Amino acid sequence: MVRICIAVHGALNKLKLNNYYFRKILSLAATLLVISFLVFAAFEIIPGDPALSRLGTNATPERIAALRAEMGLDKPFLVRYFLWMTECIRGNFGTSYSYNVPVMSMIGEKLPITITLTILSMSITMIVSVPLGIMLAKYAHRTFDKAGFIANQTIMSVPAFFLGILFTYIFGLVLHWFKPGGYVSYKQSIIGFIGFLIVPAIAIAIPKCAMSIKLLRAAVLQEADKDYVRTAYSRGNSTMQVMYRHVLKNALIPLVTFWGMAVADVIAGSIVIEQVFNIPGLGRVLLTSISNRDYPVVEAVILLIAVVVVLMDLVTDILYRRIDPRVRGNEKG
């Protein structure tokens, strides 16, 4: 992480790269603006008056008009979008229809849970898949290669929430390694919190691991045929040294893109997994808001995930340029 910071800093100091990142960030901001507009427009065109639904049975024409004015619903569409957008940038996503509290306070409390779950799952995916992918590549075209491939493909096919249920049964109910549904809040105990989240994190990580392994195996096999690998052997490197010092970095190039996109996928997966393990996270909030038609909350969650998607795009780009010096050279200005 520190190295990335230094890299960003160093890159920004050089004018040509400065231009590149400047343009990149500008285009990402534009993308976010487009998404926010689409999201806002989508929730505008749906039938139903939010003021009416908020007042419910208490609705009188005067009270509706008053509330509409208070919510800013009487202003033109573009003005409302602009107001909403500026508020969002300041971190104010409006008020929840159903709970009448600021959306930010509803989400902010749940955010650490989803973030922890995502970081745990992604870390497990990366740490486990690299050695396994290299190992599978090393033993490619041997007898158990096909069996390994089918096993990997099968693991890829298991939905994370089914794995969660299996884990609940095996490790929770039969082996008593953890207490099913015994979620510990991070406010009570950080260790208990992470200890409980580790099982759902593994459930999310396993199918992602299988996918990473498959990609890495193919990339390593492709790299292993290249001339520089022979050069590395000629210097007296062992196979493991060749793999980790030379091949791995080159083989990671396709994987970085996959991991970047997997982050958003893991967040989506955590929405379902939260239900399996009864975790009161962002997914729970999103699902209740959807069934209550609590649009400000839904909008805020979507925007947040869009920000994550866009940020991951940027991080992927930075990592990509860290790993592959050729990309850095080719995109001057």
Partner 1 sequence: MLNSIRKTFRKYNNFFFNFGMIITLVFFVLAVVGCFYTPYNTTEMNVALKNSAPALAHIFGCDNYGRDIFSRVMEGIRNTFFISFFTVLIGSLMGILIGAISGYYGGKLDEILMRINDVMFAFPSVLLALVIISLFGSGTMVVTLALGIAFIPSFARIVRSEYKKQASLDYVQSAKLMGAKDIRVIFVHILSNILPVLVSSVMIGFNNAVLAEAGLSYLGIGVQPPEASLGRMLSEAQSYLFLSPWYALFPGLAIVFMVLGFSMLAEGISAAK
Partner 2 sequence: MLLEVKDLTIEFHDHDRPETVVENVSFSLDKGEILGLVGESGSGKSMTAMAIAGLLPRKKMKKSGEIIFEEKNLLTLPRHDLRELQGDEIAVIFQEPMTALNPTMRIGRQVEEALLLHRNMTAQDRKNRAIKYLKAVELDDAERIYESYPHELSGGQRQRVMIASAMINRPKILIADEPTTALDVTVQAQIIDLLQRTNKKLGVAILFISHDLSLISRITHNVIVMQNGHIVEKGNTDEIFAAPKNDYTKKLIAAIPKVELK
Is there binding between residue 304 and partner 1 (CB under 8 A)?
Answer: no
Question: Measured from the CB atom, is 27 or 238 closer to partner 2?
Answer: 238
User: Site size for partner 2, by CB under 8 A?
Assistant: 22
Kindly state whether residue 272 participates in binding partner 1, applying the rule CB under 8 A. yes
Cα→Cα distances 14→24, 26, 317, 323, Å = 15, 18, 17, 18
Instruction: Count the helix, strand and coil residues of the chain and give each as a percent rounded to the nearest 5.
Output: 80, 0, 20
- Residue 256 lies near partner 2 (rule: CB under 8 A): no
In the bound state with partner 2, the residue whose beta carbon lies nearer, of 178 and 233, is 233
Determine if 238 is a binding residue for partner 2 (CB under 8 A): yes
Find which of partner 2, partner 1, none residue 173 binds, CB within 5 to 8 Å per kind. partner 1
Residue 153 sits in the site that holds partner 1 (CB under 8 A) = yes
Distance CA 223, CA 229 (A): 8
Q: What are phi and psi of 95, to 5 degrees?
A: -115, 140
- Nearest Cα neighbor of 261 from 328, 202, 194, 310 is 310
Q: Is 51 in the site for partner 1 (CB under 8 A)?
A: no
Q: Which does 238 bind (CB under 5 to 8 A by kind): partner 2, partner 1, none?
A: partner 2
317 touching partner 1, by CB under 8 A? no
Residues 6+ apart with CB under 8 A from 64: 49, 51, 52, 55
Residue 3 binds to partner 2 (criterion: CB under 8 A): no
Give least dist CB 192 to partner 1, A. Answer: 22
Closest CA to 107 of 321, 286, 315, 309: 286
- The Cα 248–Cα 240 span in angstroms is 10
Tell me how far, at minimum, the Cβ of 50 lies from partner 1, in Å: 13
Distance CA 148, CA 213 (A): 11
Closer Cβ to partner 2, 247 or 297, answer by number: 247
Which of 152, 250, 270, 289 contacts partner 2 by CB under 8 A?
A: 250
State which of residues 31, 98, 185, 237 lies at the interface with partner 1 (CB under 8 A). 31
**How many whole angstroms separate alpha carbon 4 and alpha carbon 317?**
11
Separation in Å, CA 314 to CA 53, 93, 98, 144, 317: 40, 24, 35, 39, 5
Residues that bind partner 1 (CB under 8 A): 31, 34-35, 38-39, 42-43, 46, 146, 150, 153-154, 156-159, 161-162, 165-166, 168-169, 173, 261, 264-265, 267-269, 271-272, 275-276, 286-287, 289-290, 293, 295, 298, 302, 305-306, 309-310, 312-313
